[in-house]
Amino acid sequence: MSNSGSGARNSALIFGDGEWGGLVRAFEKSPQQSGCAWSLRAGGYDSWLREVADPSSDSRKEADRVWIFMLSPRVLENPELEVQVDSLLALLEEAASSRSVFFGTLYADPSAPLSLSHSWESAERAEIINTKLRAFRRKHSWFNLLDVATFVQKAGFESLYDARFEATARYIYHPGALDRLAAWVLRHLEALDRVPAKVIALDLDNTLWGGVLGEDGPEGIRIGPHGAGLHYWRFQRYLKQLQEAGFLLVILSKNNLGEVEEIFRNHPDMYLKWDDFSAHAVNWKSKSENLKELAGQLGLGTDSFLFVDDSDHERGQMQAELPEVKIFAFPSDPSKLSNALAECHELDRLRTSAEDRERSRSYAETAKRSALQATSTSLEDYYAALQLRVEAKRATPENEARLHQLLLKTNQFNLTAERPDASEFRRRLSDKTRKVWSLRVSDRIGDSGLTGLIEIDLSQASHWVVKNFLLSCRVLGRTVEFAVLAWICAEAAKSGAQTLSFEFKKTGRNQPALDFIEQSGARISGTVAQIDLDSQSLAKLPPHRATLSTESRA
């Protein structure tokens, strides 16, 4: 996890086919370094294969949290490149499993000779390597890509490259370009620990369309794939892509609700539709008050929100009244809207899981469950109609990234709020004295996906210790926690353990987890709650209304 609060710094080591000392100096002097939790050091000239292949190398001995591999277009001139990359990836499986790795994608030098006819040869070779890297990334959660090819394409190769610096300093990029590259690399490193916003709260007038609906009318607002409305139309299109990737969209607007609904349902050029939004607050109350109400409806903290509004006044008021809300840097020129969204660090995440993509659907299912509960004559009838199911499985490399994401993001039902970094979590998964189970919750209405984990210390045969237990807020209030409690107590008793204890910590945000401890019937001493595993104590565990299944090797 990030150590910025303690003053300690995480170390990243960069390897390449050239010399990266200039990037290290640019990294250390960059404006973003104020309060930064990261330092960068270079592995030396042409270190990308040598340092990893040698078990006795200084790089293998050091405890750098991250390794970065950045290769120049010059490596494409090497006829053995494909074999060398295969060899390196095999080495990384052995040498880097306790680290996070970033690998820069390759691109062809666009200034090569015969650019009109032969440039495709190098480009195709680069794509062969990039395909290998993407396949490796899919199999290993600790392996991430730096999309250098897109970075160079966006910046322009000629604006980054200077042959004089390559000749004298073995840099493929000149010092000014290294400054830009250093900030970009730092953004990726910080994304390892940053918890991105979950909800994008959007104003409407001069934000999702040009003009003011109440003044200009439906015919007067600017929105569409051509002309003056193009910037807003493309902004909506990008927001739709974020919604499909799992970010929730909500409307936060001072407007007349009927007019707003009419625009979304009937305007032919609106890219976003009314149903793309998980919640709506269209009224004349303060936006901070509305945002707090929306957070309550969604069961999320206000710190999960990114506020997007063209008004300096509204942004300032939101920041003053709810300082934990993230504020989008709204550009004065609407033509820069889409790029500002792409550059918003508050939305950064290195991977998008299947659970992320399903998040919007899951919130719609939550609304259906609320409707079912409202029409049920009793809580028992509601649970019977819901047909709740919980599936517990041993954690695997395939779901490691999602489980680590849960550890970083879950606040309300989280016994300890511990935030281990990816390498530490990976170490725990391989620790034979521990077991980590993933928890998947579903019911008649839908599958909420992988929404919890429980981690057990088994180092004492007679006493199991729950080191952490967490559930997404999406599945709270359905007795899932008590179903898991009954199951884990039964597993511990079956193994011969006499007691089971829970370690917990009050954080100010995890009251649901503390309520669970209180209701479990455990004896509480300080920050530890303990349950005896005799038959009489087990019979007194809180009731639940879920069916729990587990794989045989659990």
> Are residue 330 and residue 469 in the same domain, yes or no?
no
> Are residue 337 and residue 376 in the same domain, yes or no?
no
> Are residue 425 and residue 390 in the same domain, yes or no?
yes
> Are residue 309 and residue 386 in the same domain, yes or no?
no
Angstrom distances, CA of residue 396 to CA of 56, 408, 453: 30, 18, 12
> Are residue 331 and residue 415 in the same domain, yes or no?
no
> Are residue 493 and residue 512 in the same domain, yes or no?
yes
Name every residue whose Cβ is closer than 8 Å to that of residue 352 and which is 6 or more positions away in sequence. 245, 246
Q: What per-residue confidence (pLDDT) applies to 364?
A: 65
> Are residue 389 and residue 331 in the same domain, yes or no?
no
Q: Is residue 4 part of a domain?
A: no
Q: Is residue 226 part of a domain?
A: yes
The per-residue pLDDT for range 269-314, each reduced to its tens digit, is 999 999 899 889 999 999 999 999 998 878 788 999 999 999 999 9
Number of structural domains in the chain: 3
User: What's the rounded Cα separation, in Å, for the pair 143 and 100?
Assistant: 6
> Are residue 185 and residue 210 in the same domain, yes or no?
no
Q: Is residue 131 part of a domain?
A: yes
Which of 169, 191, 213 lies at the terminal end of a domain, its last residue? 191
Which of 332, 347, 362 lies at the terminal end of a domain, its last residue? 347
> Are residue 326 and residue 427 in the same domain, yes or no?
no
- Angle of the 175-191 helix axis to the 21-29 helix axis, nearest 10: 70
Q: Is residue 5 part of a domain?
A: no
| CATH, residue 339 | 3.40.50.1000
| CATH, residue 30 | 3.40.50.1110
What is the domain range of residue 95?
10-191
Q: Is residue 285 part of a domain?
A: yes
> Are residue 322 and residue 380 in the same domain, yes or no?
no
- What six digits make up the tokens of 277? 């939004």
Classify 546 as helix, strand or coil.
Answer: strand
Q: Are 425 and 404 in contact (CB under 8 A)?
A: yes
Q: Is residue 358 part of a domain?
A: no
User: What's the rounded Cα separation, in Å, for the pair 220 and 211?
Assistant: 7
Q: Is residue 522 part of a domain?
A: yes
pLDDT tens-place values along the chain, 554 residues long: 333 333 457 899 999 988 898 999 999 887 776 678 899 999 888 889 888 888 888 888 888 889 999 999 999 989 999 999 999 999 998 776 678 999 999 998 888 777 776 677 888 999 999 999 999 998 888 899 999 999 999 999 889 998 888 888 788 899 899 999 999 999 999 998 888 999 999 999 999 999 999 999 998 999 999 998 999 999 999 999 999 998 999 999 999 999 999 999 999 999 999 989 988 999 999 999 999 999 887 878 899 999 999 999 999 999 999 999 999 999 999 999 999 999 999 999 998 877 777 776 776 677 678 778 888 888 888 888 999 999 999 998 888 888 998 888 898 999 998 888 888 888 888 889 999 999 999 999 888 889 999 999 999 999 999 999 999 887 888 899 999 999 999 999 999 999 999 999 999 889 999 999 999 999 999 999 999 999 999 999 999 999 999 874 44
Give Dmax over CA atoms of the chain in angstroms. Answer: 83
> Are residue 275 and residue 167 in the same domain, yes or no?
no
User: What's the rounded Cα separation, in Å, for the pair 115 and 122?
Assistant: 10
DSSP state for residue 26 in the 8-state scheme: H
Which of 292, 315, 347 lies at the terminal end of a domain, its last residue? 347
| CATH, residue 515 | 3.40.630.30
Name every residue whose Cβ is closer than 8 Å to that of residue 394 and which is 6 or more positions away in sequence. 435, 436, 437, 438, 551, 553, 554
User: What's the rounded Cα separation, in Å, for the pair 471 and 546?
Assistant: 15
Q: What per-residue confidence (pLDDT) applies to 6?
A: 38
Q: Is residue 352 part of a domain?
A: no
> Are residue 383 and residue 522 in the same domain, yes or no?
yes
DSSP per-residue string spanning 117-160: TTHHHHHHHHHHHHHHHHHHHHH-TTEEEE-HHHHHHHH-HHHH
